[in-house]
Amino acid sequence: MSLAGLFNQRWPGVALFDLDGTLVDSAPDLAAAVDCTLEQLGRKPAGLEQVREWVGHGSPVLMRRALAGKADWEPASAADDALFDDALTLFYNNYRQLNGKHAVVYPGVKACLESLSKRGCPMAVVTNKPEQFVSPLLKQLELDHHFKLVVGGDSLDTRKPDPGPLLHAMKALNGSRGTTVMVGDSAADVSAAQAAGIPCVAVTYGYNFGRSIQALGADAVVDSLSELL
Ligand SMILES: O=C(O)COP(=O)(O)O
Ligand SMILES: [Mg+2]
């Protein structure tokens, strides 16, 4: 399907946006919070380049990866679970202080959201970031007024790549599969949209676990959200 097919004939439809790596480059804050946590635990910092590749499945998975030092962490022992609980508590405390410190809105995002808002398109953020961190970040970056709904990684029983959060947001905004589009930066977004049966636009500038987004089968791939206009 072409971008024109997705975004012109069907407007105003419902637009669902991923947050980290799509609307906002938040990896510097996440990396700072991860590294602060690792140092508190007497471990070596992971660094921004590494942490960026670990973002996208939510903070608990991010911390599991940080403790394991790799993306595909193994199922843990009871001792590992205790360390993980500790690490996640420290991480949340650190990220609460750092959230929004270095984060920036990607080029093209504001123009896209403003144009969609003017057209009366209902929009939601559907992210795996824990809900408590989402609204403060959107507010600080002056994006919050565009969104009728925020679905965080812990808002429901499931998170992306499960289709549940997307379907929940679509229904809450009175959308249908024929009129809803998901916009994201990672395999979690594309898989969730495919499982939900709604089209997906993927951005090339995001995180996607350090891999190219091109081969995932998104309906459209763009270098900037301004291409949607
Ligand atoms: O893993 C995260 O915390 C960020 O997730 P998002 O890309 O779904 O916004
Ligand atoms: Mg993302």
Is residue 4 scored above 80 in pLDDT?
Answer: no
**Residues 187/208, Cβ–Cβ less than 8 Å:** yes
pLDDT confidence of residue 11: 56
- ipTM value for the complex: 0.98
The rounded distance, in Å, linking the Cα atoms of 175 and 170 is 5
What is the rounded average pLDDT of the residues 134-139? 98
In the chain, the domains with their CATH numbers are 3-26+103-228 (3.40.50.1000), 27-98 (1.10.150.240)
* Interval 104-123: pLDDT, tens: 999 999 999 999 999 999 99
- Please indicate if the annotation marks 185 as binding a ligand: yes
Q: Report CA torsion sign: 40, 43, 45, 46.
A: negative
Active site residues: 18
Distance 78 CA to ligand 2 centre (A): 30
**What pLDDT is recorded for position 78?**
76
For residue 99 and ligand 1, the question of a CB distance below 6 A is answered with no
Q: With 0.90 as the threshold, say if the pTM is over it.
A: yes
The response to whether 189 counts as a known ligand-binding position is: no
Please state the atom number of ligand 1 nearest to the C-alpha of residue 127. Answer: 8
Ligand 2 mean position to 122 CA, how many Å?
20
Residue 3 confidence class, pLDDT cut points 50, 70, 90 = low
For the Cβ of 21 lying below 6 angstroms from any atom of ligand 1, the answer is yes
Supply the mean pLDDT for the chain: 94
Mean pLDDT, rounded, for 62-85: 88
